Amino acid sequence: MAIFVDENTKVVYQGLTGSQGRFYGLRNRDYGTQVVAGTNPKKAGEDVDGIPIFATVGDAVEATGADVSCIFIPAPGVKAAVMEAAEGGVKMIVVITEGVPAQDEARFYNDLKRNFPDVQLLGPNCPGIISPGKCNIGITAGEIAMGGGPVGIVSRSGTLTYQALHELTQKGIGQTTCVGIGGDPVPGTTFIDCLERFEADPDTKAVMMIGEIGGSAEEEAAEFIKSSMTKPVAAYIAGVTAPPGKKMGHAGAIVSGGKGTAAAKMDALRDAGAQVGQNPTEAGELMADIVANL
């Protein structure tokens, strides 16, 4: 099994007619993802390499049964695109777009929570989600992933997500699902959302968690691990040496007022029983030991 998405998932791409949407949408299809539709109000009735284009997500859902939307719309249009997807009837919305204003994120996150509580938002500014061998939605290179489990991955950072996949694949350790939750201030899906599902997924036997400085999401995840997880967790936190007050690329990656440091996050995770690596390689080795002893 996998979490959130699998071989039965049907995906509509908002922005499939743009260069990024087309590039990754077609790559996702080549991987085996059921890419059933794209949207563009001005190009309804046309197609992108055989994939039909509809005016709205609602039209696409009605015609194709799409249940997930993947958004490649430029940042100014993301707020409207997310609401369109929710109103259109998909159950999950994956926002790849980076540079979405924080005020917009806070607005559509809470709007969804209130008016579409069953819709799962992932991102913005995330690499997407891959259940290896079944479904790849977003910008992750499918080549570096390996199916079959037993490890689930959840990560706040794009390239470190790939690094984590790679470390495991190199060691011959497969993955059930790898979720990139993104580094923005208001992520639609949290570490806890993923940990909860990995805990419930019978094929996932252990979880690798990649965090970074800023905010308190890792501390909250640690509390969840302590109280509610039976499966082992190996973790890595980036930004140990980041100076306070400097944003390290991600909008969310900033140590402010002495809060959100890597050291505090690593302590919280260790205290919760997780094994914490000092770098991605070490975290991969810790996971290899965990898997060997399963």
Partner 1 sequence: MDLFEYQGKQFFASYDIPVSPGEAVSAVDDAVAAAERIGYPVVVKAQVQVGGRGKAGGIKLADDAASVREHATNILGMDIKGHTVEILWIERASDIAEEYYASFTLDRAAKKHLGMLSAQGGVEIEAVAETDPDAIAKIHVDPVDGLTPEACREWVLAANLNPDVTDGAVDILCKLYRAYTEGDADLVEINPLIVKPDGAVHALDAKVTLDANALFRHPDYEQYDATQVRDEREEAAHEKGLQYVGLDGSVGIIANGAGLAMSTVDVVSQVGGSPANFLDIGGGANADVMAGALEVINNDDKVRSIFINIFGGITRGEEVANGIVQALGRVDISSPIVIRLDGTNADEGRAILAEHASEKLLSEPTMLDAARRAVALAAEGA
* Contact indicator for 235, 277 with CB cutoff of 8 Å: yes
Binding mask 31-70 for partner 1 (x = CB under 8 A): ----------------------------------------
| Active-site residue (options: 250, 266, 280, 283) | 250
User: Per CB under 8 A, does 88 bind partner 1?
Assistant: no
Binder of partner 1 out of 251, 264, 266, 290 (CB under 8 A): 251
264 binds partner 1 (CB under 8 A): no
109 near partner 1, judged by CB under 8 A? yes
Interface with partner 1 includes 183 (CB under 8 A)? Answer: yes
Omega of the bond prior to 101 within 30 degrees of 0, cis? no
84, 56 contact by CB (below 8 A)? yes
Q: Which range, of 51-59, 80-88, 110-118, 129-137, touches partner 1 by CB under 8 A?
A: 110-118
Does position 101 bind partner 1 by CB under 8 A?
Answer: yes
Residue from 32, 58, 247, 285 touching partner 1 (CB under 8 A): that is: 247
Q: Please tell me whether residue 277 binds partner 1 under the rule CB under 8 A.
A: no
Q: Which of 49, 143, 271, 289 binds partner 1 (CB under 8 A)?
A: 143
Contact status: 106 vs partner 1 (CB under 8 A):
yes
Among 35, 51, 129, 213, binds partner 1 (CB under 8 A): 213
CB nearer partner 1, residue 131 or residue 155: 155
The answer to whether residue 100 forms part of the interface with partner 1 (CB under 8 A) is: yes
Choice between 41 and 249, CB closer to partner 1: 249
What DSSP line would sit under the chain, residue for residue?
--SS--TT-EEEEETTTSHHHHHHHHHHHHHT-EEEEEE-TTSTT-EETTEEEESSHHHHHHHH---EEEE---GGGHHHHHHHHHHHT-SEEEE------HHHHHHHHHHHHHH-TTPEEE-SS--EEEETTTEEEES--GGG---S-EEEEEESSHHHHHHHHHHHHHTT-EEEEEEE--SSSS-SS-HHHHHHHHHH-TT--EEEEEEESSSSHHHHHHHHHHHH--S-EEEEEE-TTPPTT---SSTT---BTTBS-HHHHHHHHHHTT-EEESSHHHHHHHHHHHHHT-
**Distance of closest approach, residue 67 Cβ to partner 1, in angstroms:** 25
Nearest-CA neighbor of 90 among 74, 71, 110? 71
Applying CB under 8 A, which of residues 39, 157, 175, 275 lies at the interface with partner 1? 157
Query: 């990024």: which residue's tokens?
Result: 20
Stretch of 29-37, 63-71, 155-163, 224-232 lying at the interface with partner 1 (CB under 8 A): 155-163
One residue of 41, 159, 228, 244 binding partner 1 per CB under 8 A: 159
Give the tokens for residue 46: 């046309």
Which among 179, 182, 23 has a CA at the least distance from the CA of 35? 23
Is 250 known to be catalytic?
yes
Site residues, partner 1 (CB under 8 A):
27, 75-76, 99-103, 106-107, 109-111, 114, 139-141, 143-144, 155-163, 166, 183, 185-186, 210, 212-213, 215-217, 220, 236, 238-243, 246-253, 257, 262, 278-281
Catalytic residue numbers read 250
